[in-house]
């Protein structure tokens, strides 16, 4: 049972434009959401997070939006840069077996073309 899903395995965007990465979840007990970025041959690095008490969190070029009623979150990157090309993972925390467990999506490969 895939509780966190990223339905787009890949996304290609032109430099300077907006990148929008999407994530859907099924467990209504999730109360904290994170985005991680992963370059090849490196581990995932934390990018930005949002608590379920908010619907938006912004950090520089990165903004995460949370729609609890739709169980959907998205990551906006604007303007996109070639260095943003990486795999982006959505993760959720909480639920019945919450505690320190993070549930990850499959990842979306973002390619930003110069």
Partner 1 sequence: ETGVTQTPRHLVMGMTNKKSLKCEQHLGHNAMYWYKQSAKKPLELMFVYNFKEQTENNSVPSRFSPECPNSSHLFLHLHTLQPEDSALYLCASSQDRVQQYFGPGTRLTVT
Q: Could you tell me which residues are beta bridge partners of residue 63?
A: 58, 76
Give 19 or 93: the residue with its C-beta nearer to partner 1: 93
Site membership for partner 1, residue 44 (CB under 8 A):
yes
Question: How deeply is 88 buried, as exposed, middle or buried, from its count of CB atoms within 10 A (0-12, 13-18, 19+)?
Answer: buried
The answer to whether 66 and 56 have CB atoms below 8 angstroms apart is yes
Give 47 or 80: the residue with its C-beta nearer to partner 1: 47
Q: Could you tell me which residues are beta bridge partners of residue 89?
A: 36
Hey, is 76 helix, strand or coil? strand
Q: Binders of partner 1 among 54-113, rule CB under 8 A? A: 89, 93, 97-107
Tokens representing 53 are 């008490």
Give 36 or 80: the residue with its C-beta nearer to partner 1: 36
Site membership for partner 1, residue 13 (CB under 8 A):
no
Residues in the site for partner 1, rule: CB under 8 A?
2, 4, 9, 32, 34, 36, 41-46, 49, 89, 93, 97-107
């Amino acid at each position: 049972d895939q509780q966190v899903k990223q339905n787009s395995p890949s996304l290609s965007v032109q430099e300077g434009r907006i990148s929008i990465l999407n994530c859907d979840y099924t467990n209504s007990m999730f109360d904290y959401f994170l985005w991680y970025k992963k370059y090849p041959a490196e581990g995932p690095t934390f990018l930005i997070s949002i608590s379920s008490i908010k619907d938006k969190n912004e950090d520089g070029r990165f903004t995460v939006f949370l729609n609890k009623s739709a169980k959907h979150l998205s990551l906006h990157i604007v303007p996109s840069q070639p260095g943003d090309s990486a795999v982006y993972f959505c993760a959720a925390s909480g639920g019945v077996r919450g505690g320190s467990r993070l549930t990850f999506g499959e990842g979306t490969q973002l390619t930003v073309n110069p």
